[in-house]
């Protein structure tokens, strides 16, 4: 059976500024499938190789697949749907499969708008995909599809979701097949080195309101640090990788295992051959301030901090569990340990103003991170914050949900004005850094790294890729307030998806009402008992339903009553 995976050809002016990123998902799925005996697996990286639809059609026709699988984050969903439509045209008998976070939570939306998709994999894919492929290979598809956990599909006009699959408990049992990737294509621009994105842990115990990762991975699990370093050593020796970023949401949560990971890297002399970066929480940096030089010795050179906001009110709204003072202190500690810091800000909620944007700039300059990034708030439709702000969301064109396009319109700003304010922050921050900081401060490595980051920004700016400016008509003579972001306003929430949301909201509302009714009832009973006690107590309760239940012995007998002793 021939399986073909395709990475959709979607681009935005965000993360690609720093380089071309290897699609790790296909390595993890391919490794699991090969472990189960599937060896006829092909991969088309349409994104990295900029493969257009006609070329993709030709390639799929040559391969003659039995199964075509793609993944999709929210902004790439329409491109992924189109890949599977082309696959169905070219190979009508092939089973078309979609995975990824968007399909996991929005499967009713996807199946409504793309009926040519045969099946959606919901959740972590390694074990589900093996079960799915075995079912197809053995000729039990589609008859046995309801028996496979973690799927969604359409059957006789009805959207069906099977029981959710459990998370992968044995992460160390997953052996990614990194050889399926074209490693000469994946370059980290600041260092001009091959880059990888291995995985050390899955899940996150925190529940930031704007994030969906903790919902997707569900429970938090950490791999054996030695197994992770085995994988990194393989990437260095067999694929020429010189820089990696841990894919984990918060790799420092398990302090003991993170320390073991660093110790193992040092023991194998890997920091001389490869450096790395992470995303983590401010609180973890504060906790580990004495260990930061040790982390640097292990090759950790770049930390991206989810500082998110310069105002405590927004931090609380995001459920970050941090303070503005913590943010500043964490950046200072990292700087002293010679670790590059990147401060992440989220902007563009309904209460954003020119003044609050200016506040984030002033705060960033006061904190003095090496890098700063202002990301547009993106209302992922499967996050708690989206449910709070849903009535304010006007744009459901998910291709624009890319952190660089202002989806939300602040009350006191136009979208164009918001974008211009963000770009003003970038210009001022990096111009000052370029003139007064990057060329003159730090060691040779630090200078090289930061000038490489500046080069990446300048390259994206010259090519008009930064923040999708070339696509958004930014370089016209039109007023910024009149910018056309190209939203497809015909995109709406499918009836099936809306009905599901309303059903969940109704259940949630009714559960809240029941809890509140029980709370009020309990409070009333307590007040009534207190009133009886204050009056000497002992009279019959007016409501028999509220009367105390007679005490019963364990065998069900009621103890006899005795007259009080005189």
What is the C-alpha separation between 459 and 464, in angstroms, rounded? 8
Portions of the chain given CATH number 3.80.30.20:
187-463
pLDDT at 323: 74
Of the pLDDT bands very low, low, confident and very high (cuts 50, 70, 90), residue 319 is very low
Highest average pLDDT, of 77-86, 201-210, 422-431, 465-474, comes from: 77-86
pLDDT digits (tens, 9 = 90+) for 147-200: 999 999 999 999 999 999 988 889 899 999 999 999 999 999 999 999 999 999
Give burial (CB, 10 Å; 0-12/13-18/19+) of 289: middle
What is the C-alpha separation between 181 and 448, in angstroms, rounded? 28
What is the C-alpha separation between 150 and 103, in angstroms, rounded? 11
Helix (H) or strand (E) segment spanning residue 159:
strand 158-161
pLDDT digits (tens, 9 = 90+) for 419-447: 999 999 999 999 999 998 888 876 788 88
Q: Can you give the three-state secondary structure of 63-127, one letter per residue?
A: HCCCEEEEECCHHHHHHHHHHHHHHHHHCCCCEEEEECHHHHHCHHHHHHHCCCCCEEECCCHHH
Taking 60 as the threshold, does the pLDDT of residue 543 lie above it? no
What is the C-alpha separation between 57 and 59, in angstroms, rounded? 6
Portions of the chain given CATH number 3.40.50.2300:
3-161
Of the pLDDT bands very low, low, confident and very high (cuts 50, 70, 90), residue 505 is low
User: Considering the chain, what percentage of its residues have pLDDT values greater than 70?
Assistant: 86
Query: Tell me, which fold does domain 187-463 have in CATH?
Result: pyruvate-formate lyase- activating enzyme (3.80.30)
- In DSSP terms, which residues pair with 5 in a beta bridge? 43, 69
In terms of Cα–Cα distance, which of 206, 201, 291, 302 is closest to 245?
302
Mean confidence (pLDDT) of the chain: 86
Of the pLDDT bands very low, low, confident and very high (cuts 50, 70, 90), residue 210 is low
Three-state DSSP class for 222?
A: strand
For domain 3-161, the CATH superfamily is: Response regulator (3.40.50.2300)
According to DSSP, the β-strands at 187-188 and 151-155 are unpaired
Taking 50 as the threshold, does the pLDDT of residue 289 lie above it? yes
Of the pLDDT bands very low, low, confident and very high (cuts 50, 70, 90), residue 216 is low
Mean per-residue pLDDT, 82-107? 96
Taking 50 as the threshold, does the pLDDT of residue 93 lie above it? yes
Q: Pick left, alpha or beta for residue 520 (phi over 0 → left; psi -120 to 50 → alpha; otherwise beta).
A: alpha
| Residues listed for the chain | 566
């Amino acid at each position: 059976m021939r399986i073909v995976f395709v990475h959709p050809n979607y681009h935005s002016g965000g993360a690609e500024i720093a380089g071309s990123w290897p699609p790790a998902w296909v390595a993890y799925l391919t490794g699991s499938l090969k472990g189960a005996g599937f060896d006829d697996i092909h991969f088309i990286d349409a994104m990295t190789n900029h493969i257009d639809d006609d070329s993709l059609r030709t390639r799929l026709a040559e391969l003659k697949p039995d199964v075509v699988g793609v993944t999709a984050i929210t902004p790439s969903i329409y491109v992924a749907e189109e890949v599977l439509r082309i696959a169905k045209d070219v190979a009508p008998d092939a089973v078309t499969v979609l995975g990824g976070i968007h399909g996991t939570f929005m499967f009713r939306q996807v199946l409504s708008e793309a009926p040519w998709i045969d099946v959606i994999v919901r959740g972590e894919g390694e074990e589900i995909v093996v079960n799915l492929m075995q079912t197809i290979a053995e000729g039990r598809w589609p008859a046995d599809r309801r028996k496979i956990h973690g799927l969604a599909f359409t059957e006789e006009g009805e959207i069906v979701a099977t029981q959710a699959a459990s998370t992968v408990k044995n992460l160390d049992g997953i052996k990614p097949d990194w050889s399926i990737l074209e490693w000469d294509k994946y370059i980290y621009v600041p260092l001009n080195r091959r880059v990888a994105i291995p995985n050390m842990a899955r899940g996150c115990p925190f529940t930031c309101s704007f994030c969906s990762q903790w919902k997707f991975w569900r429970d938090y699990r950490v791999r054996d640090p030695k197994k992770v370093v085995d994988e990194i050593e393989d990437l260095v020796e067999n694929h020429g990788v010189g820089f990696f970023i841990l894919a984990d949401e918060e790799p420092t949560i398990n302090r003991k295992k993170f320390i073991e990971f660093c110790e193992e890297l040092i023991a194998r002399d890997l920091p001389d051959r490869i450096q790395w970066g992470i995303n983590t929480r401010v609180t973890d940096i504060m906790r580990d301030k004495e260990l930061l030089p040790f982390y640097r010795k292990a090759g950790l050179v770049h930390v991206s901090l989810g500082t998110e906001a310069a105002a405590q009110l927004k931090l609380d709204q995001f459920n970050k569990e941090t303070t503005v003072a913590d943010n500043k202190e964490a950046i200072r500690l990292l700087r002293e340990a010679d670790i590059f810091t990147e401060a992440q800000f989220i902007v563009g909620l309904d209460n954003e103003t020119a003044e609050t944007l200016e506040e984030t700039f002033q705060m960033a300059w006061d904190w003095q991170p090496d890098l700063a990034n202002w990301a547009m708030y993106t209302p992922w439709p499967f996050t708690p914050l989206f449910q709070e702000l849903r009535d304010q969301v006007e744009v459901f064109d998910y291709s624009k949900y890319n952190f660089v396009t202002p989806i939300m319109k602040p009350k006191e700003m136009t979208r164009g004005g918001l974008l211009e304010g963000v770009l003003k922050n970038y210009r001022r921050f990096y111009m000052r850094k370029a003139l007064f900081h990057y060329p003159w401060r730090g060691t040779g490595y630090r200078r090289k790294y930061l000038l490489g980051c500046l080069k990446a920004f300048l390259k994206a700016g010259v090519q008009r890729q930064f923040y999708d400016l070339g696509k958004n008509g930014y370089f016209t003579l039109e007023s910024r307030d009149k910018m056309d972001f190209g939203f497809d306003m015909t995109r709406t929430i499918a009836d099936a998806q809306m009905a599901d949301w309303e059903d969940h909201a109704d259940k949630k509302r009714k559960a809240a009402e029941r809890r509140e009714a029980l709370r009020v009832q309990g409070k009333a009973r307590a007040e009534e008992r207190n009133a009886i006690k204050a009056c000497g107590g002992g009279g019959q309760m007016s409501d028999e339903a509220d009367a105390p239940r007679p005490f019963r012995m364990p065998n069900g007998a009621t103890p006899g009553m005795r007259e009080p002793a005189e």
